[in-house]
Structure 1
Amino acid sequence: MFVRIVKMSLHSKYIAEFQAMFEEKKLKIRASEGCELLELYQDKNNPEVFFTYSYWKDESDLERYRNSDFFKATWQQTKGYFNDKPEAWSVNKMVSLT
């Protein structure tokens, strides 16, 4: 399993629109083959900054999702909200204490 972290910075005027779009699509994203967890975070000090964390069984699952028509349409819509270039990391989960 690995974690995909995506940092997105949005124009203030699009925050509510982005949140509504995420709410509408989150269950379909989570239902993607190999997606084990999906979370959305908003920075406490800068409300224009959001992070998504998604856990994937393996990289082929994420790539299949990223190559889907659903993802391409969603990402195209999301890109219109950005005020800065997004950043993304794929990381191996090393330790988790609950």
Structure 2
Amino acid sequence: MFVRIVKMSFEPSKIDEFLQNFELQKEKIRGFKGCEFLELYRDKHNTSVFFTYSYWQTETDLEHYRHSELFKVIWAKTKPMFNAKPEAWSVDKLVTMA
């Protein structure tokens, strides 16, 4: 499993717009070939900061998504809302306890 974590910081005035767009796009992202899991988190103290966690079958699946028309449309709408450069990490999940 391939895990992608993305940190995004938004202009406060753009947060509602971001959340509305995420609501519209989340099923498409989750339904993209290879995507097995998608969550959105919001920082408790800095409410302009959000994180997405997504699980992908392979790194190739993530790269196909990142070069897809779906991603291009989402990114074109989301990018102007940022107030800081987004950060992304690709990580290996080592332990899960439920």
- SS for the counterpart of 1:36 is strand
Please list every run of 5 or more consecutive structure 1 residues that lacks an aligned counterpart in the other structure: none
Q: Which residue of 2 aligns with 1:89?
A: 89
Instruction: Quote how far apart the aligned CAs of 1:2 are.
Output: 1.4
Task: Tell whether 2:73 aligns with 1:73.
Answer: yes
- Count of matched residue pairs: 98
- SS for the counterpart of 1:95 is coil
- SS for the counterpart of 1:53 is strand
Instruction: Quote how far apart the aligned CAs of 1:49 are.
Output: 0.1
Residues 61-91 of structure 1: CA deviation (Å, up to 9, x unaligned):
0011111011011011110110000000000
- Give me the identity figure in percent: 60
Amino acid in the other structure paired with 2:2: F
- SS for the counterpart of 1:80 is helix
TM normalised by structure 2 equals 0.99
- Cα distance in 2 for partners of 1:17, 1:78 equals 9
Please list every run of 5 or more consecutive structure 2 residues that lacks an aligned counterpart in the other structure: none
Instruction: Quote how far apart the aligned CAs of 1:13 are.
Output: 0.1
Amino acid in the other structure paired with 1:48: S
- Cα distance in 2 for partners of 1:73, 1:33 equals 17
- Cα distance in 2 for partners of 1:21, 1:80 equals 13
- Cα distance in 2 for partners of 1:72, 1:89 equals 19
Task: Tell whether 2:30 aligns with 1:39.
Answer: no
Q: C-alpha root-mean-square deviation of aligned residues, in Å?
A: 0.4
Q: Which residue of 2 aligns with 1:48?
A: 48
- SS for the counterpart of 1:17 is helix
Runs of 4+ in 1 over 2 A off after TM superposition: none
